[in-house]
Chain A
Amino acid sequence: EPEVTQTPSHQVTQMGQEVILRCVPISNHLYFYWYRQILGQKVEFLVSFYNNEISEKSEIFDDQFSVERPDGSNFTLKIRSTKLEDSAMYFCASSEYRDREKLFFGSGTQLSVL
């Protein structure tokens, strides 16, 4: 079964540093997403991306966050200046255009900001 892959699985960074989380969505999917989950809390929507632009974003996705599809396979989430409260598991997901309730999630990147 095709899967979404995310790298790295763990990322430790110092407060104020920039981090880039990487994802390879399923190849024939057209919608891409980032979600995050703080330990013990619910899965929170950050952003959706289609046709090389942001489709929707949540209030969490402020100016410190950006997404990019630099080539035909990768999808990245950049946090410009990390804060302690950015520590969370970040999940990338992708879906087909017409079946957007069926998301395929990656196994996540655990980000720890010290």
Chain B
Amino acid sequence: LAKTTQPISMDSYEGQEVNITCSHNNIATNDYITWYQQFPSQGPRFIIQGYKTKVTNEVASLFIPADRKSSTLSLPRVSLSDTAVYYCLVALHYGNNRLAFGKGNQVVVIP
């Protein structure tokens, strides 16, 4: 399983765009990049997934450079309710039976 590295925590003001970068230098050809969000006392929640270039949905955007050794989750105009831990995961697509969560990135949105 490819190892991921994220910053431990970051603060942001309400209304700002938040960018969270994840390093995954040994990503394999068939690995996909997936991001989850976890609020206190809740299970993780899938946010977005991508393989290369850019993916956007109603919650976030995911930017993946050509070498795929890193990815950036972008949260537009965060609100207080976006305070959560964000996890970057790299896993084999269509064949993974044990998704592994790292320590994640604690994002705190400040009023």
Residues of A within 8 A of B (CB): 4, 31, 33, 35, 42-45, 48, 50, 55-56, 58, 89, 91, 93, 98, 100-108, 110
Contacts and interface: CB of A to CB of B under 8 A. Distances in A.
B102 A42 contact: yes
B44 A105 contact: yes
Contact of B98 (A45, A104, A105): A45
Interface stretch (B13-21, B53-61, B72-80, B89-97): B89-97
A42 B46 CA distance: 16
Interface residues of B, number: 25
B91 A101 contact: yes
Contact of B101 (A43, A48, A55, A102): A43
A89 to B, nearest CB: 7
A108 B41 contact: yes
Interface of B: 32, 34, 38, 41-46, 49, 87, 89, 91, 93-104
Contacts of B103: 42
Given A42-B102, A102-B34, A102-B49, A55 B97 contact: yes
Interface of B is mostly: loop
Contact of A100 (B97, B100, B102): B97
A111 to B, nearest CB: 13
Given A42-B104, A101-B93, A102-B34, A48 B98 contact: yes
Contact of B44 (A43, A48, A50, A110): A43
A72 to B, nearest CB: 21
A35 B96 CA distance: 15
Contacts of A106: 43
Contacts of A89: 41
B46 A103 contact: yes
A105 B101 contact: no
Contacts of B41: 89, 107-108, 110
